Structure 1
Amino acid sequence: MSLTSDPPIGPPAGPAPGPPEATKGGAPGTDHGELTVVPLRHPWRWVAVAATAVLLAQFVNGLITNPGWEWDVFARFFTAPTILEAVWITLQLTFYGTAIGFALGIVLAFMRLSASVFLRSVAYGYIWAFRSIPLIVQLLFWFNLAYLYEDLTFGIPFGPGFFAFGTMNLVGAMSAAVLGLALHQAAYAAEIVRGGVLAVGSGQLEAAAALGIPRLRQLRRIVLPQAMRSILPNAANEIISLFKGTSIVSVMAIGELFYQVQVVYGRNGRVVPLLMVATVWYILLTTVLSVLQHYVERHYAKGAVR
């Protein structure tokens, strides 16, 4: 009897398989070195770029060569003392309107978020009223406060008064402008702040409350740093709009930038170059505000945006 062994398990011995042959259509095994790469072309994009460049070049050429712009007059008045003083008044109106408006707006926003029906109703009524009445009408009302109320009396409601004082010199033109701008701004600031606070997840506040963190610290450390990411872009837009909107106080004969430009070109008749003076100042100051917005947004984006 002869002994035999079982055949080996596995594929039969033979030559090693070579690489698969290249197939058409990019199937597995395709030799990508033999493919022709065709870059994606955007012919209409280049047409739009060329047309925009031509229009921009024509506009710049017109600014330089058209004598109607009167750049010599522009240069003479751009840094004139009266214009610089008007720019300073415009900045003051913007600063006070923004500071008072957003301070009041934060209070109104948290009143609207309050559990008290009374506080929510008062805040909603304020926002509804000041967003409904045009700003110019509000300014004229405050400017004519002495006409509406000659005296203000303090005492028992619907009863005798203890003391009174006249309103003739209570609210001047500048005070009326700041008051009107700030109260009008507060209505919009309240909704901006409320929207930013609502953007913060409620689960974070619940976790903070479970850890025993006080409400004020929750607001300062948890809510506001995150809400600022939503608040800042809209708030910056409102500040820039308020800065340009200060020109509306010219109806009250306040010497802000646009009013002063009107006074100057009303005397010398150089309308276009004086309007360009105001335009360039508005562009420069708006650019500065936009740069500040960028850095403030970047500060509050730490940890959220890489």
Structure 2
Amino acid sequence: MPVRHPWRWAAVAVTAVLIARFVHGPVTNPASVQLLFWFNLAYLDKRLDFGIPFGPGFFHLDTMGLVGAMGAAVLGLALHQAAYAAVRVVPLPMAVTAWYVLLTTVLSVLQHYVERHFSKGATR
């Protein structure tokens, strides 16, 4: 049987690649956002005051020299990896739940057939 629309497969492949790239972008961007935030901290506040809120400050730090380029990179990537490591634990309970549902379903069906076999002479 000849293929009627051979370019349809090419269009599907191109669409799949574009969707994969679209999904990949937001997944990998938090590291970039962390790096930009920590490196440009001085644009948000010129200095950090420690003291009573809306009152006098006991001491202050200039944010321009607080986090350098290397410090921003290390801090941003460390926070990103820590968040990523905390998320990787989640699939384990999901896998355990899926296996539990599968095994209890199989065992329930097996129990149904065993009880049906041994209750042939019983009246209900």
Higher Rg of the two aligned structures: 1
- Give the shorter-chain TM-score range: 0.3 to 0.5
Identify, as 1 or 2, the structure richer in strand: 2
Q: Which structure has the higher relative contact order (CA within 8 Å, separation 6+)?
A: 1
